[in-house]
Structure 1
Amino acid sequence: MDTDLDEMSREQLAAEIIKLRNGIRAHRDSTGHDLCWHHPDLWALLPERSDPLPTVPEWPQFMRGCVRYRQSLDEQAPHAPRSAEPFRG
C-alpha cells in the first residue's frame, strides 16, 4: 500500500508529512458542532482514491451514539469549556 513513499525524495517526504500534519491538526482542532461531522477532507489526504459510502445507523441508534459520544467528552475532558451555541447549518 504505501509504496509511493519509496519513490519520494527527502523534500517530497517532508512536504507529505507537513500536509498530513496539517490535516490531523485541522481534525484535532475541530470544536463545537464540527466534532459531529463526516470528515472526507481528512481521508482525502491518503494517496489512494476511494470514496466509500459509510454505513449509516438508523436515527435511534445514531442518536444513542451521539449521546454516548457527548458523555465520553464529559469523562475524557471534564474541564473543557462548554457552549450553548445552537447549530447553524
Structure 2
Amino acid sequence: MDDDLDAMSRDQLVAEVLRLRTAVRAHRDTSGHDLCWHHPDLWATLPERVEPDIAVPPWPRFMRGCVAHRQSLDEQAPDAAVHDAEHDAR
C-alpha cells in the first residue's frame, strides 16, 4: 500500500513528512465546534484515493457519543479554555 515511498528520494521523503506533519497539526489544532466534524482534508493526505465508507449512528446513539466525547475532554483536558459560541452552520 505504501510502495510509493520506495521510489522517493530523501528530499521527496522529507517533503512528504513535512506535508503530513502539517496535516496532523491542523487536525490537532482544531478547536471549538470543529472538533465534532469528520476531517476529509486529513484523509486526503493519504496517497490512495477512496471514498470513505462512513456509517452514521442513529440520532440517540450519536448524541450519546457526542456527550461521551465531551465528557472525555473534561477528563483529559480539564483546564481547557471554554469556547462559548454557537455553531455556525454556513
Give the TM-score category using the shorter length.
Answer: over 0.9
Partner deviation per Cα, 1:37-61 (whole Å, 9 max, x = no partner): 0101100000011112301001000
Q: Could you tell me the percent identity over the aligned residues?
A: 64
Matched, 1:9 2:35: no
Normalization by structure 2: what TM-score? 0.96
Normalization by structure 1: what TM-score? 0.97
Matches of 2:45 and 2:24 in 1, distance apart? 10
The runs of 4+ residues in structure 1 deviating greater than 6 Å are none
Give ranges in structure 1 of 5+ residues lacking alignment.
Answer: none
Matches of 2:34 and 2:62 in 1, distance apart? 16
Q: Which residue of 1 aligns with 2:72?
A: 72
CA RMSD of aligned residues (A): 0.6
What letter is aligned with 2:7? E
Matches of 2:31 and 2:42 in 1, distance apart? 15
Give ranges in structure 2 of 5+ residues lacking alignment.
Answer: none
Q: Which residue of 2 aligns with 1:62?
A: 62
Query: 1:84: how far off?
Result: 1.5
